Amino acid sequence: MALAKRPTTDLTTQTPFQYEAAPEAVDHVRIAGSYDLFIGGRFVAPHSRKRFATVNPATEETLAQVAEADEVDVDHAVKAAANAFRSWSRLDPGRRARYIFRLSRLIQERARELAVVETMDGGKPIKESRDVDIPLAAAHFFYYAGWADKLEWAVPNRRLRPLGVAGQVIPWNFPLLMLAWKVAPALATGNTVVLKPAETTPLTAMLFAEICQQAELPPGVVNVVTGAGQTGSMVVGHPEVRKVAFTGSTEVGKLIRRQVAGRGKRLTLELGGKAANIVFEDAPLDQAVEGVVNGIYFNQGHVCCAGSRLLVQESILEPLLQKLKVRLGTLRVGDPLDKNTDVGAINSKQQLEKIEGLVESGIEEGAEVYQPPCELPARGYWFRPTLFTGVAQSHRIAREEIFGPVLSVLSFRTPEEAVEKANNTPYGLSAGVWTDKGSRILWMAERMRAGVVWANTYNRFDPTSPFGGYKESGFGREGGLHGLLPYLDVD
């Protein structure tokens, strides 16, 4: 057959290379049937006598029953933290550093166990919890251990005082990592903590409570109260909580801001996002495709800084989309405990329904949907990696945070138009720029209203680097030297 007449292979329909199953061992992990609250250095049964189940979203099996803290429980936890504050805040900073360093070392020692539990409780691929979540959590404690006795170099020639009890409420997308972002700077600056993990992913916080015991952290310095939004609201509203740190939805962030208004509490909010990942025509396309995939399909898109809006320069729209579709076909969706899995389970049934609803709206509003062929497990909560083309800026899928593996593709012609489209959102947490030109990166970064701008990379985190938003993505910074300031009174 003449070469010219050969049918062109449509790479997008080719089945990906098959791998044998490679499940991570779970026999080294011990999950208790039920977990109490961690208050004053001990595990105590809840006054409420209530418990709720946390399930494995990949199997829908119940993993454990967890205590639901009521007002009395939260009050006990805050009192324990207030008591501990008296001595912890006066402890020699070098000794505080050693405790925090110990927490970091114990997280490293128990990394395999923590990674497996994180994956079972939340549905994220084991390669992510093993290689990203847990090492970064340890790195955070390690980094802030270093600051504990050097605060006067962080803010020179000023009088620094810790605030007191910090009430911290965290989400389910990076459970142990968000715990680390909250707890490490609070302890380094001499505050004590009442932490409320998310209701679908409380287990690594309970293991962290065990780690606090192992580290012989003074009782009450860290307290963990489990429960749903109501428990979170009690932590936030408790009069002895001097500082509130919240990561989660913009909707709840607004509620919290109202709740603490006029109460003299310090507040930081890390909320949603709808980040633009912008690819210019001079970008290396294969690298950009990897960055786009990492930007939106990492952690099933349950990432506040996910690159959920892809802005592509018009001249390369077609070739980029072609490459992207091929790449989507190679993503492995399925058992989060399998070491080859790229996209795991959606965190909860509720979140799955939210994603399904928004995808439905995209189709109804006239965007064109693409999903690679892939088989999904019969049980559990799953969603195929999804890409929308023909997206208008007015579509809900271009405006609202989906928090799932769903990418909306838009195009632009000039850098000015890219900036305008990128900033056309109530959010402002992050952005990505892909280009060969350094000057263009700086030009773009100056004009984008986003807390983090990644250049020729995406979703890269480091404890030394501050992170946080503009506009409805919240305020305050976590990480780096900046992350110390929300926990200090500076005179």
The residues assigned a catalytic role are 270, 304
Residues 350 and 128 sit within 8 Å (Cβ to Cβ) = no
Residues 6 or more apart whose CB falls under 8 angstroms from that of 390 comprise 366, 367, 368
Residue 129 binds which of ligand NAD, Mg ion, none (CB < 5-8 A, kind-dependent)? none
Q: Which is nearer to ligand NAD, 173 or 313 (CB)?
A: 173
Contact flag: residue 198 with ligand NAD (CB under 6 A)? yes
Residues 6 or more apart whose CB falls under 8 angstroms from that of 30 comprise none
CB of 121 to Mg ion, least distance (A): 4
Site string for ligand NAD, 211-240 (x = CB under 6 A): -----------------xx--xx--x----
Which one of the spans 127-135, 196-204, 212-220, 462-470 is the region binding Mg ion (CB under 5 A)?
196-204
Per residue, the 3-state secondary structure of the chain, as one string, reads CCHHHCCCCCHHHCCCCCCCCCECCCCCCCCCCEECEEECCEEECCCCCCEEEEEECCCCEEEEEEECCCHHHHHHHHHHHHHHHHHHCCCCHHHHHHHHHHHHHHHHHCHHHHHHHHHHHHCCCHHHHHHHHHHHHHHHHHHHHHHCCCHHHHCCCCCEEECCEEEEECCCCCHHHHHHHHHHHHHHCCCEEEEECCCCCCHHHHHHHHHHHHCCCCCCCEEECCCCHHHHHHHHHCCCEEEEEEECCHHHHHHHHHHHCCCCCEEEEECCCCCEEEECCCCCHHHHHHHHHHHHHHHHHCCCCCCCEEEEEHHHHHHHHHHHHHHHHCCCECCCCECCCCECCCCCHHHHHHHHHHHHHHHHCCCEEECCCCCCCCCCCCCCCEEEECCCCCCHHHHCCCCCCEEEEEEECCHHHHHHHHHCCCCCCEEEEECCCHHHHHHHHHHCCCCEEEECCCCCCCCCCCECCCHHHEECCECCHHHHHHHEEEC
Q: Which is nearer to Mg ion, 61 or 109 (CB)?
A: 61
Which one of the spans 91-99, 212-220, 246-254, 279-287 is the region binding ligand NAD (CB under 6 A)?
246-254
CB of 227 to ligand NAD, least distance (A): 7
Contact flag: residue 248 with ligand NAD (CB under 6 A)? yes
Question: Rounded to whole angstroms, how far apart are CA atoms 38 and 326?
Answer: 48
Q: Which is nearer to ligand NAD, 221 or 304 (CB)?
A: 304
Tokens for 446? Answer: 């100056």
Contact flag: residue 183 with ligand NAD (CB under 6 A)? no
CB of 359 to ligand NAD, least distance (A): 13
CB of 54 to Mg ion, least distance (A): 4
Query: Whats the size of the chain, residue-wise?
Result: 491
Q: Which is nearer to ligand NAD, 29 or 255 (CB)?
A: 255
Contact flag: residue 271 with ligand NAD (CB under 6 A)? yes
Subset of residues 159 to 178 that bind ligand NAD, contact rule: CB under 6 A: 169-173
Centre a 10 Å sphere on the Cβ of residue 331 and count the other Cβ atoms it contains.
Answer: 17
Residue 256 binds which of ligand NAD, Mg ion, none (CB < 5-8 A, kind-dependent)? ligand NAD
Question: Rounded to whole angstroms, how far apart are CA atoms 365 and 360?
Answer: 9
Contact flag: residue 54 with ligand NAD (CB under 6 A)? no
Site string for ligand NAD, 1-40 (x = CB under 6 A): ----------------------------------------
Site string for ligand NAD, 401-420 (x = CB under 6 A): x-x-----------------
Contact flag: residue 267 with ligand NAD (CB under 6 A)? no
Q: Among residues 24, 39, 54, 266, which is the contact residue for Mg ion, using CB under 5 A? A: 54
Contact flag: residue 199 with Mg ion (CB under 5 A)? no
Contact flag: residue 199 with ligand NAD (CB under 6 A)? yes
Q: Which is nearer to ligand NAD, 44 or 255 (CB)?
A: 255
Q: Phi first, then psi: what are they for 322, rounded to 5°? A: -60, -50
Q: Among residues 12, 89, 249, 361, which is the contact residue for ligand NAD, using CB under 6 A? A: 249
Q: Among residues 200, 233, 313, 386, which is the contact residue for Mg ion, using CB under 5 A? A: 200
Q: Among residues 26, 44, 91, 255, which is the contact residue for ligand NAD, using CB under 6 A? A: 255
Residues 6 or more apart whose CB falls under 8 angstroms from that of 18 comprise none
What region, left, alpha or beta, does residue 362 occupy, with left being phi > 0 and alpha being psi -120 to 50 degrees? Answer: alpha
Q: Which is nearer to Mg ion, 54 or 294 (CB)?
A: 54
CB of 171 to Mg ion, least distance (A): 13
Q: Which is nearer to ligand NAD, 225 or 419 (CB)?
A: 225
Which one of the spans 94-102, 118-126, 223-231, 276-284 is the region binding Mg ion (CB under 5 A)?
118-126
Contact flag: residue 104 with ligand NAD (CB under 6 A)? no
CB of 348 to Mg ion, least distance (A): 8
Size of the site for ligand NAD (CB under 6 A): 27
Subset of residues 272 to 331 that bind ligand NAD, contact rule: CB under 6 A: 272, 304
- Which residues form the interface with ligand NAD (CB under 6 A)? 169-173, 196, 198-199, 228-229, 232-233, 236, 247-249, 252, 255-256, 270-272, 304, 351, 354, 401, 403
- Which residues form the interface with Mg ion (CB under 5 A)? 54, 121, 200
